[in-house]
Amino acid sequence: MFWYHEQTKHTYESVRTHPNYLDWESQPSTYKNYPDTYPKRRLDLEKKEDHFLYHIAGLTAKKSYPGVEYYLRTNPSAGALYPNELYFQARGIEEVEDGIYHYEVSTHSITLLAPISAKEGLEPYLGYDVAMQGYLFLASAVYYRSSWKYKNRAFRYCLLDAGHLLGSIEAAALLKPHAVQMRYILDRKKLNLMFGFEKREWFLSGAVMAVPIKDQKVQAIEFSLPFVDASGTFEPNFLIERAYTETMHPIGCKKAIQAPKFTYQTSKLQETIFTRRSQREFKGGAITKGQFHYIIEAITQPVLSDCDEEVSVYAVLNRVLDMPLGIHKDDTFIKYGDFAKEAGYLCLEQYSLAQQGAVTFFLTSKGKNYQALYQKAGIIGHRLYIASLYLGIGCSGIGAYYDDEVNTFVGNDEMVLYALAIGK
């Protein structure tokens, strides 16, 4: 088991003896904006490609509470802290200049960081030797946005949220439609240096929505961007930095080449992406057996990837019509009984979600490649959001739980990656 995961487990005692106290004076910004000296273009939602990009990470709503105001996006994030940034290369895209871009969330704009020629680009950094027509996405993490609140455990949230961002790319691509392959084997060290991150931001993964251009060889583009502060405030966390460094290079990777198959109606899917919200509590409503099986089918589809890791999905059925109560895995029940209250306790006593929901999910893995397996859990989590909301069922991601007690509950010794609840 990976040492970082072991050191950042929650227990009943730890959450009471080591509570997080927030320094509101040092709260980081959740937006990265490049200077206006870079060419920027505001997205025009009347244009097909701009509309597609907006589906990935656009702002969709504003929430206001006494003394607090924040915006929600198409992709969820733990604590609405949004530690991830989206970059992409566009080649051969209608009305988009060939180049490398940053998605500027706060202004609904794309910033051109570097133009590319027909013979050079980011392709070699992602393992390609020919030019790729389409999009090459890169997801990064500005880890202090999360560690400001979640301390040492924040690397987990950076990875889960990056997985949600990859899942958001996958969901948006279904509108075109086009398959997306996740890339974890990339030259992180060189890319981090070229983009001027200075150890305050890191690349975690890529996503390819492109096709090779026959016989068009391409060389690795070389550039050096100056540092641009993505958080405003910063405090280094050496445990997280070590965890990132030691998991930068995937080993023994197995490719997943089977594409997923989803059954979504395009206009309804588009509405689902735009109206996605995290449920704050459930009222104890039930879902149907058909809805449960539709959701299971969606979240267990394969994930195209160059470094696939197995993620186990356990479902605690609390309120599913015409199905018994119990723990469900791999299309069968492994334990029967009413575990709603126990599921609520395991999720740091968030009873209004895990106990009152119709189903609580726990994702675990015994994989070797930490960044890949954790981001896959985020992708599965995003699929759960999309499939549930598509059916009119609420969903909430729960990144905090009593790790070892969850293991005892589901009967394994794998790393517990994520908990989620759905219901009405």
- For residue 61, the model assigns a pLDDT of 75
158 and 305 assigned to the same domain: no
Asked, for residue 357, whether it belongs to a domain, the answer is yes
Asked, for residue 47, whether it belongs to a domain, the answer is yes
58 and 114 assigned to the same domain: yes
Asked, for residue 186, whether it belongs to a domain, the answer is yes
384 and 291 assigned to the same domain: yes
**Cα–Cα dist 394/78, whole Å:** 17
242 and 367 assigned to the same domain: no
- For residue 415, the model assigns a pLDDT of 98
Q: Is the pTM of this model over 0.85?
A: yes
Note the pLDDT tens digit of each residue in 122-147: 999 999 999 999 999 999 999 999 99
- Given 227, 246, 265, the domain boundary residue is 246
- For residue 64, the model assigns a pLDDT of 66
125 and 228 assigned to the same domain: yes
Q: What is the CATH number of the domain that holds 132?
A: 3.40.109.10
228 and 313 assigned to the same domain: no
Residue 18 reports pLDDT greater than 70 = yes
68 and 121 assigned to the same domain: yes
223 and 346 assigned to the same domain: no
Per the structure, the count of domains in the chain is 2
232 and 295 assigned to the same domain: no
Asked, for residue 179, whether it belongs to a domain, the answer is yes
Peptide bond into 250 cis (omega under 30): no
Helix 266-275 to helix 154-173 angle, to the nearest 10 degrees?
150
Note the pLDDT tens digit of each residue in 372-417: 999 999 999 999 999 999 999 999 999 999 999 999 999 999 999 9
398 half-sphere exposure, CB direction, 13 A CA radius: 34
**Cα–Cα dist 168/392, whole Å:** 18
Note the pLDDT tens digit of each residue in 236-267: 999 999 999 999 999 999 999 999 999 999 99
- For residue 10, the model assigns a pLDDT of 95
Asked, for residue 349, whether it belongs to a domain, the answer is yes
159 and 237 assigned to the same domain: yes
Domain that holds residue 220: 27-246
- Given 193, 223, 246, the domain boundary residue is 246
- For residue 316, the model assigns a pLDDT of 98
249 half-sphere exposure, CB direction, 13 A CA radius: 3
236 and 290 assigned to the same domain: no
Q: What are residue 193's phi and psi, to 5 degrees? A: -70, -45
- For residue 1, the model assigns a pLDDT of 56
303 and 413 assigned to the same domain: yes
Asked, for residue 338, whether it belongs to a domain, the answer is yes
Arithmetic mean of pLDDT, 269-291: 94
Q: How confident is the model at residue 60 (pLDDT cuts 50, 70, 90)?
A: confident
Note the pLDDT tens digit of each residue in 173-195: 999 888 899 999 999 999 999 99
- For residue 21, the model assigns a pLDDT of 78
Q: In the predicted model, what is the mean pLDDT of the chain?
A: 95
More confident residue, 22 or 212: 212
Q: How confident is the model at residue 170 (pLDDT cuts 50, 70, 90)?
A: very high
CB-CB contact of 136 with 206 (8 Å):
yes
Please tell me the least confidently modeled range out of 10-19, 128-137, 304-313. Answer: 10-19
- Given 198, 231, 246, the domain boundary residue is 246
Asked, for residue 20, whether it belongs to a domain, the answer is no
Asked, for residue 397, whether it belongs to a domain, the answer is yes
Note the pLDDT tens digit of each residue in 234-243: 999 999 999 9
